[in-house]
Structure 1
Amino acid sequence: MAHAATYPDVYPKAGVFTRLNAWFFATMEKIAENNPRIRRVRKLEALSDAQLAALGIRRADIVHHVFRDAYYR
């Protein structure tokens, strides 16, 4: 004799608005991460303090340095 058991969906799918919201913010994050300025900030953050000093930049001033012409006038 065979027995069959069906189990309800243990992890119900998220609602439409939840998925749309997640998609929107993931897309905005991709756009922001592909910004050349953000990539420059990431490259400078990866440098050592000695390398930054050779460029004349303090670690605390990286964002200010990269965005100086856009936000800091």
Structure 2
Amino acid sequence: MAYTITHFAPETRGRIDAFFNRFGQGMNAYLESRARCAEIEALEAKTDAELAGMGLTRDRIPAHVFRDTYWL
């Protein structure tokens, strides 16, 4: 016969919740950085004339992509 525990002590439940909370936040950061890497690659693939038309230079691409997260 097998037994299944369906009730956890509050401190155990808190540790489990904290683990999944940190894991979820890490996944969000990872996925957002991957999306931004793709945007940087797309901008780096443009010609200097195309970038100038957007008001960018190559050295300002990272600042442009991360402008909402960093004060640059």
With normalisation by structure 2, the TM-score equals 0.52
Name the one with the larger helix percent. 2
Residue matched to 2:47: 48
Residue matched to 1:63: 62
**Counterparts of residues 1-73 of structure 1 (less than 5 Å):** 35-72=34-71
The one-letter code sitting in structure 2 at the alignment partner of 1:53 is A
Uncovered stretches (5+) of structure 1, i.e. residues with no partner: 1-30
The structure with more radius of gyration = 1
Take 1:45 and 1:52, find their aligned partners in 2: how far apart are those partners? 9
Uncovered stretches (5+) of structure 2, i.e. residues with no partner: 1-29
- Percent identical pairs in the alignment equals 40
Q: How many residues align?
A: 42
How far off is 1:71 after superposition? 1.6
The one-letter code sitting in structure 2 at the alignment partner of 1:47 is K
SS of equivalent residue, structure 1 residue 69: coil
**Ranges of 4+ aligned residues in structure 1 off by more than 6 Å:** none
The one-letter code sitting in structure 2 at the alignment partner of 1:39 is A
Take 1:39 and 1:56, find their aligned partners in 2: how far apart are those partners? 20
